[in-house]
C-alpha cells in the first residue's frame, strides 16, 4: 500500500455513491462527492508550491469542506495542522512560527487580521468559510476531481496537534500515519463500529476527539456521520433519530440531561454513547442510565497518544473509571520518584506505551525527553490507580492543567499574562467547579504594594491575547498566595478557598 492512511480511511470509498455526511439542513454528502472535493483541494495546495511533509495550518469553521481538507492533506502527503477557531491572531502567530507552516487556511473574515503575520513570514493564505466558500473553494472548482495519491509510509507524519504545556508554551505533538491508523483499527473493533453506524458528530474537528476518534473510526468502518457544525441542543435532538452512536465530552451529556426533550424514547434506538476528554461524574453516568437505560462508555485519551483505555463494550461499564488498557496499549501506574510500577489500588503516575504513542514534540527535544522515556513509555501527567478488577481510575493530575468543557487550559500561560499587567505583583490561576464546563478558570491576583490593579483592563488584555475559553471567568485580589516550605504556591488551598464561586455550596 502506498499511502496506508489514505487508502484505509478514504481511498477505499472511491466511487461510493453512499451517504457519508448527513447535514442539519437536510443535505447529504456522498463518499464520492467528499473525495472529489478533497482531490480538488489537493491540486490547489500542491500547485501553490507545497511539498510532501510540509505543514498546513488550518483554522476554519467545521464543515464538510473543512473535513475534505484533512483528506486532501493525507492524500497529498501534507502534514495536517488543525487549530482551534477560538485562537487569537497572537496565538496563531506562535503556531505558524513554531511549526514552520508555509500555508494557512483561514476563514475569509480573518484574512485581514492575519495579514501582518502572514506577510512577515511569507506564508501563503487560502480562505474557506463555513459554507464551503472562499478562494480555496474558488480555485478548487477549476481542478480535476481525482488526484494521484502521494506515496507515504506508516512512519511518515500525518498530523501535528498542538497541546499546551506547563511552561506556557504550546508543543506540536507529531503523529504518524500508523499512530492514527493503529488506534482507529483498535477502536473500531473494541466499540464494534460497522458500516451500519451513523455517528452523531457534534465535536469540533481540530482536536483528537472529533477528528481522529470520531472521524477516523467512522471512515475505517465505512459508516456515516450526522455532521453538526457544533454542539447545539436543537440540532443534536433533531439529528439523534438518524444516528446509532454518539461521542462527546461530559458537558454534552449534562446539557442533554438538562433538556426535557432528551427522553428514553429519543435514545431508545441508539447503540452507544461514549464520553471522554474530561472526567464524567458518576452522578451524570447514573442520571443518564436512569433517563435512557444506556450506560455511557467512558474512555481515556490524550493528544499525544490518541486513546489509551476504555470501558468494555460488553462487560461492566464502571462509572468513575476509564476502563482497561486497549489491546496493544500498555498502561502502568508508577512511582513518580523511582519510575517503578506500583501495586493495584495505589495511586501513581500513569504511563503509556504502544503504537498509538506520538513521535515527540516538534523541535523540542528536551520536552520530549522529559515526557517520553527511552523505553517508549510516555509519562501522561495524569495520576491514577488500577482497582482489583483491572479498571483504571484517574484520580488527579501531576500537571497544572484545567479542563473546561473538554478544552485543556494551562494556567501558566494565563499567569504570564496576568503577571505582566500594571499593578500586579504575581498571580495564580486555578480551576474551580462549574456546572456546565466541569471546571472554569479563576485568576487570583496579588497587587504590588499600594497598587490597585484595574481588573477590567486586565480582562480586556486577556481578550487580545488569549482564546475566549481560556479567559478567567473571575479575577480576585488577595494579599498573598499560600506557599509551602519550598516556596511553591499551594493551589490546592486556593481551589478550596474559591470552590463555591460558581457552584454555591
Give the interface with ligand AMP as residue ranges (CB under 6 A): 163, 208, 276-279, 298, 300-303, 322, 380, 382, 394, 397, 403, 408
Task: Compute the distance between CA of residue 428 and CA of residue 269 in angstroms, rounded to an integer.
Answer: 47
Whether the Cβ atoms of residue 17 and residue 31 lie closer than 8 Å to each other:
yes
CA distance 436 to 299: 20
> With respect to ligand MCA, which residue has the nearer C-beta, 4 or 250?
250
Of the candidates 468, 483, 492, 503, which one interacts with ligand MCA according to CB under 6 A? 468
Looking at beta carbons only, is 220 or 247 nearer to ligand AMP?
Answer: 247
- Decide: 213 and 187 in contact? Cβ < 8 Å: yes
x/- letters, 102..131, toward ligand MCA (CB under 6 A): ------------------------------
What is the closest distance, in whole angstroms, from the C-beta atom of residue 411 to ligand MCA in the complex? 14
Please report how close the Cβ of residue 268 comes to ligand MCA at its closest, in angstroms.
24
Q: How far apart are CA 102 and CA 84, in angstroms?
A: 18
Nearer to ligand MCA, 41 or 407 (CB): 407
- The one of ligand MCA, ligand AMP, none whose footprint includes residue 355, by CB under 5 to 8 A per kind, is none
Phi first, then psi: what are they for 113, rounded to 5°?
Answer: -60, -35
Looking at the Cβ atoms of 277 and 292, the one nearer to ligand MCA is 277
Which of these ranges, 13-21, 178-186, 206-214, 413-421, lies near ligand MCA under the rule CB under 6 A?
206-214
Give least dist CB 364 to ligand MCA, A.
19
Grid-cell match 473574515, residue found: 109
Residue 437 partner contact from ligand AMP, ligand MCA, none using kind-dependent CB cut-offs of 5 to 8 Å: ligand MCA
* Among positions 99, 208, 309, 421, the unique one binding ligand MCA when judged by CB under 6 A: 208
Contact string (CB under 6 A) for ligand MCA, positions 353-392, x = contact: ----------------------------------------
- Residue 172 binds: one of ligand MCA, ligand AMP, none (C-beta under 5 to 8 A by kind): none
Site string for ligand MCA, 404-423 (x = CB under 6 A): xxxx----------------
Phi, psi of 54 (to 5 degrees): -70, 145
Is residue 135 within a helix (H) or strand (E), and if so which, with residue range?
helix 135-140
Strand, coil or helix: 412: helix
CA distance 181 to 176: 9
- Site residues for ligand MCA, 186-205, by CB under 6 A, read 203-204
Nearer to ligand MCA, 77 or 210 (CB): 210
Which residue has 487580521 as its cell numbers? 113
At 245, is the secondary structure helix, strand, or coil?
strand
Q: How far apart are CA 353 and CA 316, in angstroms?
A: 25
Residue 251, interface with ligand MCA (CB under 6 A)?
yes
Q: How far is the CB of 45 from ligand AMP (least distance, A)?
A: 27
> How far is Cα 467 from Cα 448, in angstroms, rounded to an integer?
27
Q: Which does 371 bind (CB under 5 to 8 A by kind): ligand AMP, ligand MCA, none?
A: none
- The entry of ligand MCA, ligand AMP, none that residue 249 binds, CB within 5 to 8 Å by partner kind: ligand MCA
Residue 203: which of ligand AMP, ligand MCA, none does it interact with, CB under 5 to 8 A by kind? ligand MCA
Closest residue by Cα to residue 261 from 239, 289, 278: 239
Is 127 in contact with 106 (CB distance < 8 Å)? yes
Nearest to 28 by CA among 19, 36, 37: 19
Q: Is 341 helix (H, G, I), strand (E, B) or coil?
A: strand
Name the binder of 163 from ligand AMP, ligand MCA, none, CB < 5-8 A by kind: ligand AMP
For residue 383, give the C-alpha cell.
495520576
Sign of CA dihedral 89, 403, 396, 426: positive
CB of 210 to ligand MCA, least distance (A): 5
Q: Which residue is nearest to ligand MCA (CB)?
A: 405
Contact partner, 204, from ligand AMP, ligand MCA, none, Cβ < 5-8 Å per class: ligand MCA
Measure the CA–CA gap between 149 and 139, rounded to whole angstroms.
Answer: 20
Query: Is residue 231 a contact residue for ligand MCA (CB under 6 A)?
Result: yes
DSSP-based three-state secondary structure for 285:
helix
Question: Is there a contact between 352 and 308 (Cβ–Cβ < 8 Å)?
Answer: yes
Query: Residue 343: what are its φ and ψ, rounded to 5°?
Result: -70, 165
**What does 253 bind: ligand MCA, ligand AMP, none (CB cut-off 5 to 8 Å by kind)?**
none
Cell numbers linked to 428? 495564580
Q: Is 433 helix (H, G, I), strand (E, B) or coil?
A: strand
| Residue reference for cell 455550596 | 505
Instruction: Give residue number: closest CB to ligand AMP.
Output: 303
Nearer to ligand AMP, 149 or 164 (CB): 164
The site partner of 177 among ligand MCA, ligand AMP, none (C-beta below 5 to 8 Å per kind) is none
Query: Which residues contact ligand MCA by CB under 6 A?
Result: 203-204, 207-210, 230-231, 249, 251, 276-277, 301-303, 404-407, 437, 468-469
Amino acid at each position: 500500500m502506498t499511502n496506508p492512511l489514505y487508502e484505509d480511511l478514504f481511498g477505499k470509498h472511491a466511487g461510493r455513491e453512499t451517504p457519508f455526511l448527513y447535514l442539519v439542513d437536510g443535505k447529504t454528502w456522498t463518499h464520492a462527492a467528499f473525495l472529489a472535493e478533497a482531490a480538488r483541494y489537493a491540486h490547489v495546495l500542491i500547485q501553490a508550491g507545497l511539498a510532501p511533509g510540509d505543514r498546513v495550518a488550518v483554522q476554519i469553521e467545521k464543515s464538510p469542506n473543512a473535513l475534505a481538507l484533512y483528506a486532501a492533506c493525507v492524500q497529498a502527503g501534507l502534514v495536517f495542522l488543525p487549530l482551534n477557531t477560538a485562537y487569537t491572531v497572537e496565538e496563531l502567530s506562535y503556531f505558524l512560527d513554531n511549526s514552520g507552516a508555509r500555508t494557512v487556511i483561514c476563514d475569509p473574515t480573518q484574512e485581514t487580521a492575519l495579514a501582518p503575520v502572514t506577510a512577515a513570514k511569507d506564508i501563503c493564505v487560502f480562505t474557506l468559510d463555513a459554507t464551503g466558500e472562499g478562494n480555496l473553494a474558488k480555485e478548487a472548482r477549476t481542478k480535476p476531481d481525482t488526484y494521484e495519491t502521494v506515496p507515504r509510509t506508516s512512519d511518515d507524519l500525518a498530523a501535528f496537534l498542538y497541546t499546551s504545556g506547563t511552561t506556557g508554551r504550546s508543543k506540536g505533538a507529531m503523529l504518524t500515519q500508523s499512530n492514527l491508523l493503529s488506534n482507529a483499527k483498535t477502536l473500531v473493533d473494541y466499540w464494534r463500529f460497522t458500516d451500519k453506524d451513523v455517528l452523531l458528530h457534534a465535536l469540533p474537528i481540530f482536536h483528537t476527539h472529533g477528528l481522529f476518534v470520531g472521524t477516523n473510526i467512522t471512515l475505517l468502518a465505512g459508516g456515516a456521520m450526522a455532521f453538526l457544525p457544533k454542539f447545539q441542543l436543537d440540532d443534536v435532538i433533531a439529528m439523534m433519530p438518524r444516528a446509532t452512536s454518539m461521542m462527546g465530552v461530559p458537558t454534552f451529556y449534562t446539557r442533554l440531561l438538562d433538556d426535557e426533550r432528551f427522553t428514553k424514547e429519543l435514545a431508545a434506538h441508539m447503540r452507544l454513547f461514549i464520553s471522554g476528554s474530561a472526567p464524567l461524574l458518576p452522578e451524570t453516568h447514573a442520571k443518564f442510565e436512569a433517563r435512557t437505560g444506556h450506560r455511557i462508555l467512558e474512555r481515556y485519551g490524550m493528544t499525544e497518544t490518541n486513546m489509551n483505555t476504555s470501558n468494555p463494550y460488553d462487560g461492566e461499564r464502571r462509572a468513575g473509571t476509564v476502563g482497561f488498557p486497549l489491546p496493544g496499549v500498555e498502561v502502568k501506574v508508577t512511582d513518580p520518584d523511582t519510575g517503578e510500577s506500583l501495586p493495584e489500588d495505589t495511586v501513581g503516575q500513569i504511563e503509556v506505551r504502544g503504537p498509538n504513542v506520538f513521535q515527540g514534540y516538534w523541535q523540542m527535544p528536551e520536552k520530549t525527553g522529559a515526557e517520553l522515556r527511552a523505553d517508549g513509555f510516555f509519562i501522561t501527567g495524569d495520576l491514577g490507580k488500577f482497582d482489583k478488577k483491572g479498571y483504571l481510575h484517574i484520580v488527579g493530575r501531576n500537571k497544572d492543567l484545567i479542563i473546561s468543557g473538554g478544552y485543556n487550559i494551562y494556567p501558566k500561560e494565563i499567569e504570564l499574562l496576568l503577571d505582566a499587567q500594571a499593578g500586579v505583583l504575581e498571580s495564580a490561576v486555578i480551576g474551580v467547579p462549574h456546572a456546565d464546563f466541569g471546571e472554569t478558570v479563576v485568576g487570583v491576583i496579588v497587587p504590588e504594594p499600594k497598587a490597585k490593579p484595574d481588573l477590567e483592563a486586565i480582562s480586556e488584555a486577556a481578550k487580545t491575547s488569549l482564546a475566549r475559553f481560556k479567559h478567567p471567568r473571575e479575577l480576585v485580589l488577595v494579599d498573598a498566595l499560600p506557599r509551602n516550605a519550598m516556596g511553591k504556591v499551594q493551589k490546592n488551598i486556593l481551589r478550596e478557598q474559591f470552590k463555591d464561586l460558581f457552584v454555591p455550596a
